[in-house]
Amino acid sequence: MTTRPPWAPQGRRSRVAYLGPPGTYTQEAAARYAPDAEFVPFPTAGHVCAAVESGEVDEAVVPIENSLYGSIVDILDFLITAKRAKIKSEILLPVKHCLMAAPGTRVEDVRAVLSHPQALGQCRGYLAKHLPHAEQVAALSNAAAAAEVKAGTRSGAAAIGPLRAAGIYGLNVLAEGIQDANNNITRFVVLAPEDHPRTGRDRTSLCYDVRDEPGALYKTLGPIARRGINLSKIESRPSGIRLGRYIFLADIDGHRSDPEIAAALEEIRQMTQMMKVLGSYPRAELPEAG
Amino acid sequence: MTTRPPWAPQGRRSRVAYLGPPGTYTQEAAARYAPDAEFVPFPTAGHVCAAVESGEVDEAVVPIENSLYGSIVDILDFLITAKRAKIKSEILLPVKHCLMAAPGTRVEDVRAVLSHPQALGQCRGYLAKHLPHAEQVAALSNAAAAAEVKAGTRSGAAAIGPLRAAGIYGLNVLAEGIQDANNNITRFVVLAPEDHPRTGRDRTSLCYDVRDEPGALYKTLGPIARRGINLSKIESRPSGIRLGRYIFLADIDGHRSDPEIAAALEEIRQMTQMMKVLGSYPRAELPEAG
């Protein structure tokens, strides 16, 4: 028996878009969020986001920042300009790379390791120690690497990617958790036409633009600081639209319907030309290790 | 005759480290900064930075942020923990991708396009329009793609990368400026044991940690805002060292030796547990297009 999530439309499974192909960390995050949904892969972040805007899917899961690599800026830029899509939820997922190969291949048989260059770079220590003589081969994605190993065109090939990719492509896991850094965590957000009702443990993401002049940012943080609202993240980005202006992205603790939060947001709105609430949603906790 | 840059040690050419292999955008930035230096490629950002710390090189050029992709976080993390290395200069370089192939290959002959997955993604529009049937093949770096095209193991192959790579690998440029976005600019910094003397048009980068509590960031921005100092960038990062603390990275206009800047920095130092000036250096202008 599958449990229908409360947000699923009546009469059919919820359709959840994600950045494909199957077997990526984004699909992993989507599966944790909505195990029973129908997952629809899209080739680019732009396509994923457009599918939410058009109503082609009910929700979408996209990566938004990584603890080692920072923000995923094209997603932020989409959110800033989006007409409908709101952040409805967040998901924290530790990046845990696995070495996988066709059944029968042992670590000592591996002659080539395939993956996205970023994943190869994240496993530099493991590869230097355990597979110093294996050739490192770039792939367009971790999932594409697993598919190529599965295809079997290269003997002694192994791929690096998430556990899910091994399951999808029928590969054996030779080693787990082979990444150098253990604080490599990706934050994903769920986009939907509506954000999340208040839970009491919420976070609100907002963005606004300010003039490139002394004290401009400081002034806009006043309404937040004076009310004792916690600011958990702030980031400035040059505005792509108007030169000499900056866009600030901020995460604050609380829900936009909380009276104190609502008052702070209104005050910021009055001091900026553009202010947008990207969504209020429950704060995520890190999942258990393992 | 080569001109010796004023900062070159007597008796030998300055040694400048960069993230290799040759033919990357980082080498392009290094060449614009110090045309006559001896360039030393290193395989990772960590190795580049360590070479400055140990004195093995005089300076190093590393990418620090991209207008589309955000900060390059491992470089920031290095700067936060570095013992000697300071930011001495900044370089802004528009990313301008070229399509390149062996002499004799025309665009209509191209059957496979090789590059780093990020560069392939940045040229999606051009590839869809002009080379819809060409296979896209991942490479470990843009330079590795050019080297593979040069090696000639694959017929009808072209690479995407900087103009410099075409020169280094003896390839013909089939098309220039094929990236989708024209606001794709990378900011590089020059690291050295000392930062730059005051020029009158300077920028200062600093970082400090604050408690994860309401108003903490706001308070630390006061000394900057009250003095009318312009804040051109701010970014928060979770501290890898202590949970529940944040590190803020800020860029402000002015030199650390300017009395107003020095006073603001001292005031921030007194309200934080860790505050570090990453360096003062001349503000870069965007180079002329072309």
Nearest CA in chain B to A118: B140
- Closest by Cα among A189, A177, A164 to A71: A189
**Residue B31: its pLDDT value, please?**
92
Nearest CA in chain A to B241: A183
For the whole model, what pTM was predicted? 0.80
A40 CA to centre of own chain? 16
pLDDT band at A289 (very low <50, low <70, confident <90, very high): very low
Mean of the per-residue pLDDT values for chain A? 87
Radius of gyration of chain A (CA): 21
- Closest by Cα among A21, A48, A46, A18 to A34: A18
State how far the Cα of A270 lies from the Cα of A264, in Å rounded to an integer: 10
Please check whether residue A119 is in contact with residue A98, taking contact to mean a CB–CB distance below 8 angstroms: no
List pLDDT tens digits, range A113-167. 999 888 898 898 999 999 999 999 999 888 899 999 999 988 899 999 999 899 9
* Tokens at B13, concatenated: 């050419």
3-state class (DSSP) for residue B59:
strand
Q: At what angle do helices B216-225 and B259-271 cross, to 10 degrees?
A: 160
Cβ contact B74–A68 (<8 Å) = yes
**Residue B1: its pLDDT value, please?**
36
- Closest by Cα among A239, A212, A227, A240 to A266: A227
Question: Does the pLDDT at position A4 exceed 50?
Answer: no
Q: Which residues of chain B have pLDDT under 70?
A: 1-11, 67-73, 238-245, 287-290
| pLDDT over 70 percentage in chain A | 89
Question: Does the pLDDT at position A215 exceed 90?
Answer: no
**Residue B2: its pLDDT value, please?**
40
**Residue B289: its pLDDT value, please?**
45
More confident residue, B44 or A173: A173
∠ CA A117-B77-A28, nearest 5°, is 45
**B residues 114..133 contacting A (CB < 8 A):** 116-117, 120-121, 124
**B residues 236..275 contacting A (CB < 8 A):** 236-238, 240, 246, 248
CA distance A261 to chain B (A): 13
Q: What is the ipTM of this complex?
A: 0.72
In chain B, residues with a C-beta closer than 8 Å to the C-beta of A238 are: 67
* Tokens at B229, concatenated: 């100092």
**Residue A288: its pLDDT value, please?**
53
**Residue B270: its pLDDT value, please?**
93
What are chain B's domains?
Answer: 15-92+186-192 (3.40.190.10), 98-176 (3.40.190.10), 202-281 (3.30.70.260)
Question: Does the pLDDT at position A261 exceed 70?
Answer: yes
Work out the widest C-alpha separation in chain A, in whole angstroms: 65
A83-92, A140-149, A261-270, B67-76: which has the minimum mean pLDDT?
B67-76
**Residue B246: its pLDDT value, please?**
75
